[in-house]
A and B are shown apart, each in its own frame.
Chain A
Amino acid sequence: MTLRSFILRRLGSIIPTLIFVSLIVFALQKLIPGDPAIAMAGDESNDAVVEQLRAKYGFDQPIYVQYFRWIGNVLVGDFGSSYRNRVEVIDLILTKLPVTVELAVLSMIVALAIGIPTGILAATHKDRFTGTAANIFALTGISIPHFWLGIMLILLFSVQLGVLPSSGFVPPWENLKQNLLSLVMPSIVLGTGVAGVITRHTRGAMLQVLSSDYVRTARAKGVSERIVVSKHALRNALIPVITLSTIEFGQLLSGAILTEQIFSIPGFGKLIVDAVFYREYAVVQGVVLVTATLFILLNFVADILYFVVNPRMRGAND
């Protein structure tokens, strides 16, 4: 199977998923109790105004017409507008998303820098103290409530030691140093959880590769253990870890919700929480739709990466 046909086949399966996602997000709006036209008109409205709004936004049309109208607008980037900020939802998303993406990238760097070496240690020092410690670290990373870890880090580094800011995000183009300083703690908070997942997967993949025939052959030929681990085992063990990291990156975009709330970072997560509190359903819909689409696309990228780095896939699908 060629890369092109693989991409086409995967695209064929993600389009129906995207259509279903849009149906769910549309249903979310329709399930809200009450008449949206009455809600829009406000307290001092009369029947004529409500009727006018109903006709203007198509609420009097059959449900499928309303869906096609809505999806048509979404496809050209019109998600509606936020009545609180009087800003288009798409503009809000485009302003907030880069902040969360920066946080997710930094968190992923932290996660990979901790997770891969710890996973290797857990596999190579299996049944020894170091290996057990690495396993406990992974379990802690997965189990710790990140918003609590964030609060504890603020307590230590901001309140007690006063070395890192607890809030006050600065965009990178204004002051890069301040920007990075303000994201140190949030990226550690988010990165630790993903590091736990990566540690577990690296350990699993390494254990599998280390017990394979070609590693046994390399050892029998007298190749040093360091070379066996770094050159023979790690390269192959990292293949599933790369794809997993791509999927985890998608999780980070949504995992940032509480972290952004704690560190007052004006990102995507804070946008959805504020939207929920102010009952701005158009914003909630926009954020859910964009998050799901990004998640599907990242999974798509992960599949392509896996196909590219794993030659066996090409044969398997022929």
Chain B
Amino acid sequence: MTDAVLTQAPARSGFRIRSRAVRRFLKHRPAVVALCVLVFFALVAIFAPFIAPYDPIKSDFLAVRQGMSAAHWMGTDELGRDILSRLIYGTRTSLMAGVVPVTLALLISIPLGLLSGYVGGYLDSVLMRFTDALLAIPFLVLAIALTALLGPGLFNAMLAIGIAAIPIFLRLARGSALAVSKEDYIEAARAGGNSPLRIAFKHVLPNMIPPLFVQATLTVATAIIVEASLSFLGLGQRPPAPSWGSMLNEAQRFLPTQPTMALWPGLAIFIVVMSINIVGDGVRDAMDPRHKS
């Protein structure tokens, strides 16, 4: 059996499985609606400078803490800044804080997980004990401790969230690599005389991605909440740059007089996180129909 035949067979069937999964996902109506909501927020983030009616960091002391009006649809904050504009720019921070740490965690976890699961042995034992230990430290506690170490700021917060997410993906990637490496087609590839490196990257790696993709979707939601939490505590995005978490922190002081200041950023986090969770459920159901949520 040639290597070309070996690579083409799973690839073609993999394509068929993927297109079937896409069809199943499109039948999951709530997930499709949620995906549209996320696309809307992504467009808001990309085109923020064109959509936002005001400069999000420019103070206007003649318009301090105003209610909702035609000029300021969501009112203004304690420095007279337009809340809608800050919310629009805050979408950038939140979506970035969701995607960047998860990408970072995946980039580190996938090769390490592949190595750990496919090679096994002493390296696997040490890595898994290390992962167990990291998983024992709750996500937010680890993120706070790392931010304490790195110093406050959005970049450091994202780095801390990414590092805190590594054990989740590492364990999953290793499990997937282990399961895939026991499949018949891997055995066949080995018998065909392919090098271990080629088998790992050409055959094991593409097949261990689906479960990681589901977990990545759900972890983006967690990362957004953790970033908002860190910013709420003053450890994330630095003022005056807008972030939904820091907007909530500022709003807390004016709760009795201007409750809407706290309403909008929280609602935005809630809608985005809920949409991601619904999409995550949809993706999981589409990829593994036996596990229907």
Binding site for B on A (CB under 8 A): 16-18, 20-21, 23-24, 28, 31-32, 139-140, 142-145, 147-149, 151-152, 154-155, 159, 200, 250-251, 253-255, 257-258, 261-262, 272-273, 275-277, 279, 281, 284, 287-288, 291-293, 295-296, 299
Do residues B129 and A17 form an inter-chain contact, with CB atoms below 8 A? yes
Q: For the A-B complex with A143-B221, A276-B145 known, give 11 more contacts whose Cβ atoms are closer than 8 Å.
A: A16-B129, A142-B277, A145-B270, A148-B270, A151-B248, A152-B262, A159-B256, A258-B232, A258-B233, A292-B133, A295-B136
Q: How many residues of B contact A (CB 8 A)?
A: 43
Do residues B233 and A28 form an inter-chain contact, with CB atoms below 8 A? no
Chain B residue with Cβ nearest A135? B293
Chain B residues with CB under 8 A of A28:
145-146, 149
CA distance A148 to B229 in the complex (A): 10
Chain B residue with Cβ nearest A20? B133
Q: Which of B229, B255, B265 contacts A159 (CB 8 A)?
A: B255
Chain B residues with CB under 8 A of A143:
221, 270, 273-274, 277
A-B contact pairs, 22 of them (CB 8 A): A17-B129, A17-B136, A20-B129, A20-B132, A21-B137, A23-B133, A24-B137, A28-B149, A140-B274, A145-B225, A147-B232, A148-B265, A155-B255, A155-B262, A159-B256, A159-B259, A200-B293, A254-B139, A255-B138, A257-B141, A276-B145, A281-B148
User: Which 6 A/B pairs are nearest by Cβ-Cβ distance?
Assistant: A148-B266, A20-B133, A254-B138, A143-B274, A276-B148, A292-B136
CA distance A217 to B270 in the complex (A): 44
Do residues A291 and B266 form an inter-chain contact, with CB atoms below 8 A? no
Do residues A21 and B133 form an inter-chain contact, with CB atoms below 8 A? yes
Q: Which of A24, A151, A293 contacts B134 (CB 8 A)?
A: A24
Chain B residues with CB under 8 A of A250:
138
Chain B residues with CB under 8 A of A159:
255-256, 259
Chain A residues with CB under 8 A of B252:
151, 262
Chain B residues with CB under 8 A of A31:
149
Chain A residues with CB under 8 A of B149:
28, 31-32
Q: Which of B138, B274, B277 contacts A291 (CB 8 A)?
A: B138
Do residues A151 and B251 form an inter-chain contact, with CB atoms below 8 A? yes
Q: Is B283 an interface residue (CB 8 A)?
A: no
CA distance A149 to B269 in the complex (A): 11
Number of A-B residue pairs, CB cutoff 8 Å, is 126
Do residues A276 and B255 form an inter-chain contact, with CB atoms below 8 A? no
Chain B residues with CB under 8 A of A21:
133, 136-137
CA distance A216 to B79 in the complex (A): 65
Chain B residues with CB under 8 A of A24:
130, 133-134, 137
Q: Is B235 an interface residue (CB 8 A)?
A: yes
Q: Which of A17, A255, A261, A288 contacts B132 (CB 8 A)?
A: A17
CA distance A258 to B140 in the complex (A): 10
Q: Is B144 an interface residue (CB 8 A)?
A: yes
Q: Is B228 an interface residue (CB 8 A)?
A: yes
Q: Which of A17, A254, A279 contacts B141 (CB 8 A)?
A: A254
Chain B residues with CB under 8 A of A151:
248, 251-252, 255, 262, 266
Chain B residues with CB under 8 A of A254:
138-141
CA distance A254 to B225 in the complex (A): 14
Chain B residue with Cβ nearest A22? B133
Chain A residues with CB under 8 A of B277:
139, 142-143
For the complex formed, measure the closest distance between the CB of A89 and the CB atoms of chain B, giving whole angstroms: 14
Chain B residue with Cβ nearest A275? B148
Interface string of B266-293 (1 = CB under 8 A from A): 1001100110011000000000000001
Interface string of B101-138 (1 = CB under 8 A from A): 00000000000000000000000000001101110111
CA distance A24 to B130 in the complex (A): 9
Say whether, besides A17-B132, A155-B262, A276-B144, A145 and B228 are in contact (CB < 8 Å): yes
User: Which of A145, A257, A291, A295 counts the most chain B CB atoms within 10 A?
Assistant: A145
Q: Which of B134, B146, B233, B278 contacts A273 (CB 8 A)?
A: B233
Do residues A257 and B144 form an inter-chain contact, with CB atoms below 8 A? yes
Do residues A139 and B148 form an inter-chain contact, with CB atoms below 8 A? no
User: Which of B133, B228, B259 counts the most chain A CB atoms within 10 A?
Assistant: B133
Q: Is B147 an interface residue (CB 8 A)?
A: yes
Do residues B259 and A155 form an inter-chain contact, with CB atoms below 8 A? yes
User: Which of B141, B228, B256, B278 counts the most chain A CB atoms within 10 A?
Assistant: B141
